[in-house]
């Protein structure tokens, strides 16, 4: 009898201890970022947080601006970044994420990549306790937050500028990105406005372009067909818009004949606007503000321990933080040598607030 009693007590103690271990090691999950529960990213207290940084390439000024500010943020916070800055192919992007996962970094930030092809790796990273965040990118399940602009709204905003410039009359060509992404929304909004609300505007084409050279060749095609009858080329982004501007110049036209609008902002397009090229306006994106917001969320989730969906979380239900772009034209194009933050004096920049994040480090400066 004593032996049986001893066995029963021993078994009970074993179950109690085992249950305590299971309880102590239970992983906290969240359901905001995916249809299924995912582990909340690990909280780092006793060492610098480690970030893996991924971007498709660095030839675009927008990516350069984000990366520059990311380094400022990391230095200010005492964090470490391992970058992959030239993942031009889907295979290269997948390889980079796989390396980050094997190295078990604490967080991954994706500035731009083909997100639909990376969905499985995002979930794989999250299941290891790695936070995944995006800057001006397309959301997929598992990404905690994306920081960007209201792309459709921004497209509509610069549309009204262009329409007013030609008294809402004339032929318009839209050149869009062919690959599915949030940037396409800019052109979709404009296409809808022209077709539904502006009968005096003639939309002669809405083309998707796969390569940057396509923006030049398609512009040449339409210039050959319409010549000076074409009034305005609406391009989804600045660098691509500059290809259209070059084609217009080579055909012997000026901005008074045919003009181009883009979206992004930065030294290169500001110089074009300032110097009289066919590129007349852009919507300047606050890329630095996007980047700062992503780092603030990382800090909240993985330093302070406030998970997505918790009380006080910065992460909204839609997982996207939106910020305001600014219309930049010949009338307000910024001067060479000024901080990029001055462009956003109507939205976030206050020159008197010297302790604000936009005074950290050495911000991006507008050049020739």
Report the percentage of the chain scoring pLDDT > 70.
93
What top-level class would CATH report for the domain 30-149+287-323? alpha beta
Burial class (CB in 10 A: 0-12, 13-18, 19+), 368: exposed
- What is the predicted pLDDT for the residue at 8? 46
pTM of the model: 0.91
Residue 175: pLDDT band (50, 70, 90) is: very high
Instruction: State CA 47 to chain mean position distance.
Output: 28
Overall size of the chain counted in residues: 368
For residue 132, report the phi and psi dihedrals to the nearest 5 degrees: -125, 130
Give 189-217 pLDDT, tens digit per residue: 999 999 999 999 999 999 999 999 999 99
Provide the pLDDT for residue 358. Answer: 98
Residue 21 pLDDT grade (very low, low, confident, very high; cuts 50, 70, 90):
very low
Q: In this predicted model, what pLDDT tens digit does every residue of 55-101 receive, in sequence order?
A: 999 999 999 999 999 999 999 999 999 999 999 999 999 999 999 99
Quote the crossing angle between the two packed helices 267-275 and 238-250, to the nearest 10°: 30
Percent of the chain at pLDDT exceeding 90: 90
Does position 301 have pLDDT exceeding 80, yes or no?
yes
CB 136 within 8 A of CB 66: yes
Burial 59-83 (b: 16+ CB within 10 A, else e): ebbbbbbbbbbbebbbeebebebeb
The pLDDT value given to residue 35: 84
Confidence of residue 359 (pLDDT cuts 50, 70, 90): very high
Per-residue confidence (pLDDT) for residue 25, from 0 to 100: 57
So what's the pLDDT on residue 27? Answer: 86
CATH domain 151-284 topology: Rossmann fold (3.40.50)
Mean pLDDT over 5-27 rounds to 48
Structure confidence at residue 22 as a pLDDT band (50, 70, 90):
very low
Pick the more confident residue, 225 or 368. 225
**How wide is the angle at C-alpha 136 spanned by C-alphas 130 and 142, nearest 5°?**
30
Q: Count of alpha carbons within 13 Å of 323, Cβ hemisphere only?
A: 22
The pLDDT assigned to 24 comes to: 45
Which range, of 14-18, 168-172, 213-217, 297-301, averages the lowest pLDDT? 14-18
Q: What is the overall mean pLDDT for the chain?
A: 93
pLDDT surpasses 80 at 16: no
How many beta carbons lie within 10 A of that of residue 41, not counting itself? 26
Q: Which of the four pLDDT bands, split at 50, 70 and 90, describes residue 182? A: confident
Dihedral, CA of residue 126, residue 127, residue 130 and residue 134, to nearest 10: -10
Chain region(s) in the chain for CATH 3.40.50.2300: 30-149+287-323, 151-284
Is 253 in contact with 228 (CB distance < 8 Å)? yes
Q: Are 260 and 244 in contact (CB under 8 A)?
A: yes
Among the listed ranges 6-15, 245-254, 268-277, 301-310, which one has the minimum average pLDDT value? 6-15
């Amino acid at each position: 009898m004593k032996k049986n009693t001893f066995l029963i007590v021993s078994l009970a103690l074993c179950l109690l201890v085992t249950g305590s271990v299971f309880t102590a090691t239970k992983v906290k999950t969240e359901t905001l970022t995916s249809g299924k529960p995912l582990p909340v990213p690990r909280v780092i207290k006793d060492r610098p947080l480690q970030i893996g940084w991924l971007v498709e390439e660095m030839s675009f000024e927008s990516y350069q601006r984000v990366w520059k500010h990311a380094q400022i943020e990391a230095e200010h916070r005492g964090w470490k970044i391992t970058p992959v800055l030239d993942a031009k192919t889907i295979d290269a992007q997948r390889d980079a994420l796989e390396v980050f996962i094997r190295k078990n970094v604490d967080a991954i930030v994706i500035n731009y990549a083909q997100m639909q092809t990376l969905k499985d790796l995002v979930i794989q990273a999250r299941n290891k306790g790695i936070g995944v965040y995006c800057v001006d990118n397309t959301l997929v399940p598992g990404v905690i937050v994306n920081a960007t602009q209201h792309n459709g709204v921004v497209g509509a905003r610069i549309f009204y500028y262009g329409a007013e410039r030609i008294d809402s009359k004339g032929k318009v060509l839209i050149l869009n990105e062919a690959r599915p992404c949030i940037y396409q929304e800019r052109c979709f909004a404009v296409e809808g406005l022209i077709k539904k609300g502006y009968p005096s505007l003639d939309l002669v084409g809405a083309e998707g372009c796969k390569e940057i050279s396509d923006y030049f060749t398609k512009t040449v095609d339409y210039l050959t067909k319409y010549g000076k009858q074409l009034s305005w080329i609406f391009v989804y982004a600045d660098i691509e818009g500059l290809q259209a501007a070059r084609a217009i110049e080579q055909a012997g036209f000026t901005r008074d004949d045919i003009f181009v609008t883009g979206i992004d902002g930065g030294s290169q397009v500001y110089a074009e606007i300032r110097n009289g090229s066919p590129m007349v306006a852009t919507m300047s994106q606050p890329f630095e503000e996007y980047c700062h917001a992503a780092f603030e969320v990382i800090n909240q989730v993985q330093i302070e321990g406030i998970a997505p969906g918790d009380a006080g979380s910065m992460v909204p239900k839609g997982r996207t933080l939106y910020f305001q772009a600014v219309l930049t034209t010949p009338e307000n194009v910024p001067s060479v040598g000024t901080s990029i933050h001055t462009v956003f004096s109507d939205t976030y920049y206050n020159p008197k607030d010297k302790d604000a994040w936009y005074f950290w480090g050495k911000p991006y400066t507008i050049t020739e």
